[in-house]
Structure 1
Amino acid sequence: MSMSDTFHLKIAEFLITQINNGTYACGDRLPSENELCAQFQTNHHVVRLAISRLINMGWVATYQGKGSFVKSRPEAFPYSLSAKTGFSSNLKGRPLAHRGQLMQWEKRHPMPHEARYLDLEMHEYVYDLRIKRFINEQPMSLSTTVIRAHDVPDLPDFLADFQSLYKILSEHYQIRPIRTKSIVQAIMPTLKDTDLLHLPENVPLVKIESFARHPSGHPFEYNVSKIRSDMCRYVIDF
């Protein structure tokens, strides 16, 4: 790839640096296309590519006839990955409004990999819960949690006013799952992910596949979460 093919990336990175260092604050108008063309000695096509990149990454919004303006961006908060931390416990004591929304649930037989992870026979049952989580009413993660049905009898009785799965487990079953392993991977969002999380086009997700045990020692939970990479900074506690 030649320098001419990537020059718009240089312009985009320059503008991001200017936003990060406070030269342009939220709501400020960026230089016009003509001003950027003159500043970087390039043409309108290259400048438009740079601005499109900033739009796709969620840094700016463009309005016809007015120009491009810096957008507010969610502040990344520390998210700890340790044996006993969950979404709510990570945010405890922080001035951030947070909640979970149960999008759907079902009781079913486990899939082969779930049966293997949870030490179940294929004829046994699991609860499958799909949860969307919010910070300050901004969608930040999509989670699929699969737990052994035998450990949580009558779980549907407690799902009507859902706020937090771990709150239900603690209050009604005296269970605090213990995370034993997490696998972290950067992925690009699907179209559905982008829609559900109100995600800018080119912002990747962090996929975290986690395994947790029941306090008594047996496998209890298998979870796959997809989290906005621009909203979290991950802290690994050893």
Structure 2
Amino acid sequence: MTGARTPLWQSIATALSNEIAAGHYALGDRLPTEAVLSARFGVNRHTLRRALGDLAERGLVHSRRGSGVFVAAKPTDYPLGRRVRFHRNLRAAGRLPGKAILATETRAANADEARALALPTGAMVHVHDGLSLADSQPIAVFRSVFPAARFPDLPTALHDEGSVTAALARFGVADYTRASTRLNAVTATPTQALHLRIREGAPVLRTTGINVDSDGRPVEYGTTWFAGDRVTITLDPEAEGRHGSVTEAD
């Protein structure tokens, strides 16, 4: 028994988004005409327009009546080093950083969170969920988890400061570094797809890691889900000492 075939329009959308991500088309470039693309992919214009519509919904292209379809976004280079600052990275790439807080709660840690933060089972943690933006376009959903006993009023500090670094500084954490990072590809959940304006099941890149203070004590356990076609992750050892947060909350 064979699996379901991928719809042609979806395959075309994936091919074009990959080409945009690879730099075949730069920001502001006009894509080939519908006639040219239809011939290239061997489909009718209705199928092609559905693929272009999908790219438009994701914010990758926009159409101008009588002029064509143009690239509206380019992937952001995002270096991962021992220290990574979301705002600094985007500004260095010529993008305007932004953040939207989705939810903040204090609850008992699950097993993974307790293990990552070196806490006893059932210890209380602050959970900070948000959306990272580049030029007002969502590029990632993040979750940061912090030990509540050590940082009792951290949710208020995060709300006031709008920055993990500044919030932790209120509690005497002058610096923190990445102790470990895991990267893997997953598919977007319905909620993630809604926030990132992508299709449910579309590929996203998940980074999971632990930040520690200067004494090696865990201060943050973070997970970030990047829209796969909006960010190019690079491993940059030279970023150490220049940048810092395992999640994109900073």
Question: Could you say what secondary structure the match of 1:120 adopts?
Answer: coil
Question: Could you say what secondary structure the match of 1:183 adopts?
Answer: strand
Alignment of 1:204-219 (within 5 A): 204-219=203-218
Question: Could you say what secondary structure the match of 1:25 adopts?
Answer: coil
- In 2, are the aligned partners of 1:177 and 1:215 still within 8 Å (CA)? yes
- TM-score, length-normalised on structure 2? 0.72
Residue aligning to 2:185: 186
Question: Could you say what secondary structure the match of 1:151 adopts?
Answer: coil
1:129 aligns with 2:132: no
Alpha-carbon distance between aligned partners in 2 of 1:12 and 1:126, rounded to the nearest angstrom: 39
Alpha-carbon distance between aligned partners in 2 of 1:41 and 1:228, rounded to the nearest angstrom: 25
What is the letter of the counterpart of residue 169 of structure 1? L
1:160 aligns with 2:163: no
Residue aligning to 2:89: 90
What is the identity percentage for the equivalent residue pairs of Structure 1 and Structure 2? Answer: 19
What is the letter of the counterpart of residue 224 of structure 1? T
Please state how far the C-alpha of 1:16 moved relative to its aligned partner: 8.0
Do the aligned partners of residues 102 and 126 (structure 1) sit closer, same or farther apart at CA in structure 2, a change above 3 Å counting?
A: same
Residue aligning to 1:73: 72
What is the letter of the counterpart of residue 191 of structure 1? P
Residue aligning to 2:24: 20
Max Rg structure: 1
Task: Please list the CA deviations of residues 67-101 of structure 1 after superposition, one character each: whole Å capped at 9, or x if unmatched.
Answer: 99424332222211111113123235453221222
Aligned pairs, how many?
A: 226
Please state how far the C-alpha of 1:6 moved relative to its aligned partner: 9.2
- Please give the root-mean-square deviation of Cα atoms over the aligned residues, in Å: 3.7
Please state how far the C-alpha of 1:222 moved relative to its aligned partner: 1.0
Please state how far the C-alpha of 1:107 moved relative to its aligned partner: 1.4
Question: Could you say what secondary structure the match of 1:233 adopts?
Answer: strand
Partner of residue 31 from structure 1, selected from 28, 31, 34 = 34
Partner of residue 50 from structure 2, selected from 49, 52, 72 = 52
Question: Could you say what secondary structure the match of 2:194 adopts?
Answer: helix
Alpha-carbon distance between aligned partners in 1 of 2:172 and 2:163, rounded to the nearest angstrom: 14
Alpha-carbon distance between aligned partners in 2 of 1:36 and 1:62, rounded to the nearest angstrom: 15
Do the aligned partners of residues 173 and 153 (structure 1) sit closer, same or farther apart at CA in structure 2, a change above 3 Å counting?
A: farther
Please state how far the C-alpha of 1:120 moved relative to its aligned partner: 0.8
Alpha-carbon distance between aligned partners in 1 of 2:217 and 2:14, rounded to the nearest angstrom: 50
- In 2, are the aligned partners of 1:132 and 1:141 still within 8 Å (CA)? yes
**Which has the higher relative contact order, 1 or 2, with Cα contacts under 8 A spaced 6 or more apart?**
2
Residue aligning to 1:142: 141
What is the letter of the counterpart of residue 29 of structure 2? A
- TM-score, length-normalised on structure 1? 0.75
What is the letter of the counterpart of residue 55 of structure 1? G
Alpha-carbon distance between aligned partners in 1 of 2:229 and 2:191, rounded to the nearest angstrom: 18
Unaligned runs of 5+ in 2: 238-250
Do the aligned partners of residues 222 and 231 (structure 1) sit closer, same or farther apart at CA in structure 2, a change above 3 Å counting?
A: same
Please state how far the C-alpha of 1:110 moved relative to its aligned partner: 0.8
Do the aligned partners of residues 54 and 201 (structure 1) sit closer, same or farther apart at CA in structure 2, a change above 3 Å counting?
A: farther
Alpha-carbon distance between aligned partners in 1 of 2:101 and 2:162, rounded to the nearest angstrom: 8
